């Protein structure tokens, strides 16, 4: 059970990273070309935030299954911050009228979330793309 959860948690990280990079490129292209806000941006940002939340859930399932050591505290704290930061632009922009929606908050939120993910993985001594299980 624990091994399966660990493999799922380790593997889902790649999907989270791909979704994050796609959403970041989308947002940066939007900022640079100054094109009008499109629904695709919202979908890309929501996919990234959604996968990140799923990853947080899996992480807690691993903790509940009995895997814990003090160095994980940094991992957990940074990952919760990443999930919050990824969600903020999605939630804030949803409340804005369509003509006031822009790409910049997405670009900043996604970039900061990706940085926090990198730091969170480094906190347990792993590389962003590396693993101790394989």
Q: Which residues bind ligand HEM (CB under 6 A)?
A: 6, 9-10, 13, 16, 52, 55-56, 59-60, 62-63, 67, 72, 75-76, 79-80, 82, 117, 121, 124, 126, 131-133
Q: Are 52 and 121 in contact (CB under 8 A)?
A: no
Q: How far is the CB of 22 from ligand HEM (least distance, A)?
A: 14
- What token pair was written down for 26? 């989308």
Q: Give the contacts of 30 (CB within 8 A, at least 6 positions apart).
A: 37, 38, 41, 102, 103, 106, 107
Count of alpha carbons within 13 angstroms of residue 78, beta-carbon side: 18
Please report how close the Cβ of residue 28 comes to ligand HEM at its closest, in angstroms.
20
Q: Nearest to ligand HEM by Cβ — which residue?
A: 59
Report the residue number, 35 or 67, with the smaller CB distance to ligand HEM: 67
- Answer for the pair 13, 56: CB distance below 8 angstroms, yes or no: no
Q: How far is the CB of 27 from ligand HEM (least distance, A)?
A: 18
Comparing CB distances to ligand HEM, the nearer of 17 and 41 is 17
């Amino acid at each position: 059970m624990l091994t399966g959860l660990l493999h799922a948690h380790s593997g889902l990280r790649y999907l989270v990273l791909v979704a994050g990079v796609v959403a970041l490129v989308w947002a940066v292209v939007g900022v640079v070309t100054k094109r009008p806000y499109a629904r695709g941006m919202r979908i890309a940002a929501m996919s990234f935030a959604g996968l990140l939340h799923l990853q947080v859930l899996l992480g807690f399932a691993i903790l509940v299954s009995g895997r814990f050591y003090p160095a994980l505290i940094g991992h957990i704290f940074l990952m919760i911050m990443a999930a919050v930061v990824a969600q903020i632009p999605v939630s804030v922009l949803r409340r804005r009228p369509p003509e006031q929606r822009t790409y910049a908050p997405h670009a900043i939120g996604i970039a900061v979330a990706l940085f926090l993910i990198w730091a969170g993985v480094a906190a347990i001594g792993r590389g962003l793309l590396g693993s101790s299980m394989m």
